[in-house]
Structure 1
Amino acid sequence: MWERRDPVPGEPPRVIIIGAGVSGMATGCYGQMSGLETRIFEKHVLPGGCCTAWAREGYVFDYCIEWLIGTAPGNDANQVWRELGALDGKTITNFEMFNRVVDEDGREVIFYNDPDRLERHLTELSPVDAPLIRSFCRDLRRFTEFELYPFLTPPPLRTLRERLRTLRTVLPRFRLFWRTAATQMHTFADRFQDPLLRRAFRNIFFQDPETFPVLPFLFNMASAYHQNAGFPQGGSLGLARSIEDRYTGLGGRIDYRSRVERVLVEDGRAVGVELKGGERHYADHVVSACDGQTTIYQLLGGEYTSPRVERLYDELIDRPGILFPAVVSAFVGVDGEFDAADPHSSTYLLSDQEAERLPGALQPSLVVQLRSHYSEGFAPPGKSVIHCTYFSDFHYWAELRSTDRKAYWARKRELADFVRTVLVDRLPHLRDRIELVDIASPATTLRYTGNHVGSILAWKAFSDAEDVANELIAKDRMRLPGLANFWMTGQWVGMGGLIRAASTGRFVTQYLCAELGLGFRAEESANVEPWHPDRLGSLPQLDQRPVR
């Protein structure tokens, strides 16, 4: 059916989806539930895009999820995951703290999710800052009193009941939203007299997003307080595998190792795709769930743009502070297990001398997460996995890899040595227990996912790009001007974050069903089979050899 150009009366509309990331598979799931015939083409060998993992010597290196909005029942975000089967049969790990920040002298700030406990801890650290601490914790309590997860319906399709429900949540708290959204975290943090608190508040989200206001910090900590920002069993690839199972169980098909080279267009209408190698497949509609710039300027040759698209991809995309920075990941395999009481996540603030040893670093800090605390199955019995990350300059790594491969590998080895040094200095019991270090640079992210400049989360929320991206959903309805039967979905349309990626798959299917005159349907998965790490399947290695 995918070889013919024209639809057959009476048969379901055919939809080709480019990319088997979370948004692409979500589009496929909702399409299958709504009576469409869908097929996904994915260039990689795994589902999930950046929501992935790889393996080496029995260790599983979980790449993406640090917390997942929607892990507690009874809210709209969780409903999306239940519909996609993402949490089927899984336990959820929740932590009492969001993150810990430790300075060069070992003084630490623990950001507990409980506002009462957080207030006591911060006040003990800096009594002189008590008024400002009480203000922050008072706002955190207010955020714990409601839940607002607008991920079920795009704004133009919301019913009067849905709009009234949102207004009942927002209007009584309008001043709270306005004030915390208008106050930059940097501005707020600079008001503390304690120098550690000034630095620590910037790093609640592990590293400093730099342009974020106070609001998202409060929102996510409140979600964590309600255990609605936990870590699902199986981690990132486990989430992707569960959605893949849901999709194929609904009758969908994913073609792996199938790179789409261009979208086929006839008479201003998308009619299919051409794969690398020349193979062509046809459909009634095409949905791109891959990198936005690749979609517009490569798959479509830059022929279908608009002032909004051009503002995003020509004017804003290379402006500082618009995209989430690329990330360097160093996964460390350790012989032995950590104590259950050890903090799961710590941001270590580095001295100037230490920071100089971080290749391409954008900030003087290193995030250290004990990933074996997050879920079982990430390490062989009796061993553990640590994930170390930092924001890094994409161009530094990309240029090095393209011009001098030996220097690129040498820099990776230097980074591995530095990570060992930092870990042993902060955690002396790790001496002689580190078995291997595997490093993914921003150039690696580009190579495996195609994300522009290796940015995992695409556009930054609360940046100049957010309003423009929101208009792509609400005004353009996830379409491009002059091109019929073509849609865009994913983080390059709906902003960063896995729940947003999943919700754009729901949104685009609702728009598609409205155009076709079909009823949109969404049903919760009935699968109750317990999750097991074996369901991750065969995992690839990142490179032929680890950086030892």
Structure 2
Amino acid sequence: MHADEEHEWSVRPGAAPGGRPADRRPRVIVVGGGVAGLATGCYAQMNGMRSRIFEKHVLPGGCCTAWGRDGYVFDYCIEWLIGTAPGNEAHRIWRELGALDGKSITHFDMFNRVTDESGRSVMFYNDPGRLEAHLLGISPADAPLIRSFCRDLRRFTDIELYPFLTAPALRSAGERLRMLRTVLPAFRLFWRTAATPMHAFADRFEDPLLRRAFRNVFFQDPEGFPLLPYLFNMAAAHRRNAGFPQGGSLGLARSIEERYTALGGTVSYRSRVARVLVERDRAVGIELGNGRRYYADHVVAACDGHTTVRTLLGGRYTGPRVDRLYGELLTERGALFPAVVSVFAGVRGDLGPDRAHSTTYLLSPEDAAHLPGALQRSLVVQLRSHYSDGFAPPGRSVIHCTYFSDFGFWKELRTRDRKAYWALKRRLAAFVRDFLERHRPGIAGRIELLDVASPATTKRYTGNHDGSILAWKAFSEADDVAAALVGKDRMRLPGLAGFSLAGQWVGLGGLIRAASTGRFAVQYLCDEWGLPFTARESLAREPWRPARLGPLPRLDRRDTRLGQEVPEA
């Protein structure tokens, strides 16, 4: 950015009464360069605004990111991406944001494999017919329940419902009618599957493996989910609308960043926002941690919700809905997605043919005891080199192992005794190496590095409350409160003008939801300022290359080669 442009952002813009820009392009500041923040910036630029994104990290994407070590790319976020098939609203948003430009999409014929302690496995094929035959082969006694699940899965494959284009409060009568035409014929299906908890459904199986396996279709048991999201996402994967984009998580963020800068936007990295500047109950800009101030006609916070309300705004602009969402619910069990521990293994050679790209291993009590802070007795092992090219140097491969873990456990240990924290990570890395050897004999000798990220790591790099990477759980009270904040409140806070919320802390988790909140925020802003909202697809088609990920940070400078593992701090 040129010095004169930098100076311009440091000067208050003139405005007509009510904060509407007077005879110039409106200026919008976005706090946070995750997918929601980048989407907000893109749509602001498409609608004639001048925007600037301030991001505390050195990379775009927030939780949708990766880091590197010795030529390996440790891809952290995407397991499947809704919207990879043409012809639906989710795909249209990704095309508008340039997220899939020039990329191939990897599709898998199964969602996940679940393997118990004895080695018995369940393959959750996306194809209803194949899944039904497989499950009946495991447990003929459970035929009625199996056929019921697969019958519902077939029905969901015919449903396309992605309400992401128009903010709820701005939907026209025609848009609402089209949604009703989709929902009403399948109303009983939606109602029944949304009202049936997966735990209650799974407990009806006679086969003990199926009782445990169905809980882990989504890799780990999210607890509290009904049947609907399992059926919906498996059906999307069967339609090839839930694939894995080339370049992975950081690749998605980089592509949206490229789209944003091509539209004329600017991202300022290493720029931690300390507070939102407010005058006469109107947000007028931000102040960075170094004291520098920047001004705009509107500020959009696309970052951690609790930090926004309690820190950036000092807790001054709240109401019953805001207090419930960003206060009480944060401490209630089951409202937030748990944090995760990630262990990446860099492996010499190929991983070989394996029918499952992802496997949830159900652990014995003895094995589970080796997972510090674990919330469940399971470990997910994903062969990330099978997802996309460029994740490992030539002749090498990457494995990603994860489990749900307690944020408080890791935070307390890291705060109290840093050496003990590092030592525990070393022991975890050693266990993962031994565990992989048991299930893939000979691999331990080919593992050349291990890298561990704890929930405390997620908190430090993203600012997400309790290290949660998906924020609120769907189908919870938080879902209802957040929906009212997006629809009734138009993503605004009580008593504060010139300010909007965006991202997963207001629109719930999932990348397409995060991106859609950026679209909604700009739609509401255009409506307030009397501007017509417009969006257009990216025309860029240059083939994706792994080099476009750019330089990757390391979480720590310690050597992690075998015999010296000291994972990141």
| One-letter identity of the residue aligned with 2:406 | D
SS in 1 for 2:448: strand
**TM-score normalised to structure 2 length:** 0.96
The residue number in structure 2 matching 1:194 is: 207
| One-letter identity of the residue aligned with 2:142 | D
Deviation at 1:325, TM superposition (A): 0.1
Q: Write the distance in 2 (CA, Å) between the matches of 1:546 and 1:76.
A: 45
In the alignment, which of 9, 13, 21 is matched to residue 6 of structure 1?
13
Would the aligned equivalents of 2:89 and 2:162 in 1 still touch at CA under 8 Å?
A: yes
The residue number in structure 1 matching 2:556 is: 543
The residue number in structure 1 matching 2:250 is: 237
The residue number in structure 1 matching 2:50 is: 37
User: Over residues 167-194 of structure 1, what are the superposed CA-to-partner deviations in whole Å (9 max), with x where a residue is unaligned?
Assistant: 0000011100000000000000000000
In the alignment, which of 437, 441, 462 is matched to residue 449 of structure 1?
462
Q: Write the distance in 1 (CA, Å) between the matches of 2:60 and 2:154.
A: 38
The residue number in structure 2 matching 1:418 is: 431
In the alignment, which of 409, 431, 456 is matched to residue 444 of structure 2?
431
The residue number in structure 1 matching 2:473 is: 460
Q: Write the distance in 2 (CA, Å) between the matches of 1:546 and 1:287.
A: 40
In the alignment, which of 238, 242, 245 is matched to residue 225 of structure 1?
238
The residue number in structure 1 matching 2:4 is: none
User: Over residues 56-89 of structure 1, what are the superposed CA-to-partner deviations in whole Å (9 max), with x where a residue is unaligned?
Assistant: 0111000000000000111000000000000000
User: Over residues 152-210 of structure 1, what are the superposed CA-to-partner deviations in whole Å (9 max), with x where a residue is unaligned?
Assistant: 11111011111111000000111000000000000000000000000000000000001
Deviation at 1:10, TM superposition (A): 1.8
What residue ranges of structure 1 are gaps of 5+ in the alignment? Answer: none
Q: Write the distance in 2 (CA, Å) between the matches of 1:349 and 1:279.
A: 51
Query: Equivalent residues in 2 for 1:62-461 (5 A)?
Result: 62-461=75-474
Would the aligned equivalents of 1:478 and 1:487 in 2 still touch at CA under 8 Å?
A: yes
Would the aligned equivalents of 2:434 and 2:444 in 1 still touch at CA under 8 Å?
A: no
Deviation at 1:546, TM superposition (A): 5.0
Answer yes or no: is 1:527 the counterpart of 2:540.
yes
Q: Write the distance in 1 (CA, Å) between the matches of 2:354 and 2:478.
A: 41
User: Over residues 514-547 of structure 1, what are the superposed CA-to-partner deviations in whole Å (9 max), with x where a residue is unaligned?
Assistant: 0011111100000010000000000000111254
Answer yes or no: is 1:495 the counterpart of 2:508.
yes
Deviation at 1:314, TM superposition (A): 1.8
| One-letter identity of the residue aligned with 1:377 | G
SS in 2 for 1:317: helix
Q: Where in structure 1 do 4 or more consecutive aligned residues deviate above 3 Å?
A: none
| One-letter identity of the residue aligned with 2:12 | R
Deviation at 1:7, TM superposition (A): 2.5
Number of residue pairs the alignment of both structures matches: 548
The residue number in structure 2 matching 1:58 is: 71
CA RMSD of aligned residues (A): 0.8
Q: Write the distance in 2 (CA, Å) between the matches of 1:348 and 1:112.
A: 17
Would the aligned equivalents of 1:437 and 1:546 in 2 still touch at CA under 8 Å?
A: no
**TM-score normalised to structure 1 length:** 0.99
Q: Write the distance in 1 (CA, Å) between the matches of 2:312 and 2:429.
A: 37
Q: Write the distance in 2 (CA, Å) between the matches of 1:371 and 1:359.
A: 23
Would the aligned equivalents of 2:330 and 2:336 in 1 still touch at CA under 8 Å?
A: yes
SS in 1 for 2:367: helix
What residue ranges of structure 2 are gaps of 5+ in the alignment? Answer: 1-7, 16-21
Q: Write the distance in 1 (CA, Å) between the matches of 2:270 and 2:61.
A: 14
Q: Write the distance in 2 (CA, Å) between the matches of 1:98 and 1:542.
A: 30
Deviation at 1:407, TM superposition (A): 0.3
Q: Write the distance in 2 (CA, Å) between the matches of 1:124 and 1:514.
A: 56
SS in 1 for 2:451: strand
Answer yes or no: is 1:26 the counterpart of 2:33.
no
Q: Write the distance in 2 (CA, Å) between the matches of 1:123 and 1:71.
A: 31
Q: Write the distance in 2 (CA, Å) between the matches of 1:329 and 1:153.
A: 36
Would the aligned equivalents of 1:100 and 1:346 in 2 still touch at CA under 8 Å?
A: yes
User: Over residues 112-157 of structure 1, what are the superposed CA-to-partner deviations in whole Å (9 max), with x where a residue is unaligned?
Assistant: 0000000000000000001100000000000001110011111110
Deviation at 1:431, TM superposition (A): 3.1
Deviation at 1:429, TM superposition (A): 3.1
SS in 2 for 1:239: helix
Q: Write the distance in 1 (CA, Å) between the matches of 2:88 and 2:220.
A: 28
Q: Write the distance in 1 (CA, Å) between the matches of 2:423 and 2:362.
A: 25
Would the aligned equivalents of 1:7 and 1:13 in 2 still touch at CA under 8 Å?
A: no
More moved, 367-376 vs 428-437? 428-437
Would the aligned equivalents of 2:128 and 2:151 in 1 still touch at CA under 8 Å?
A: yes
Would the aligned equivalents of 2:306 and 2:327 in 1 still touch at CA under 8 Å?
A: no
Would the aligned equivalents of 1:439 and 1:546 in 2 still touch at CA under 8 Å?
A: no
| One-letter identity of the residue aligned with 2:112 | N
Would the aligned equivalents of 1:333 and 1:437 in 2 still touch at CA under 8 Å?
A: yes
Q: Write the distance in 2 (CA, Å) between the matches of 1:315 and 1:276.
A: 28
User: Over residues 405-462 of structure 1, what are the superposed CA-to-partner deviations in whole Å (9 max), with x where a residue is unaligned?
Assistant: 0000000001001101111111113131111110000000000000000000000001
SS in 2 for 1:358: coil
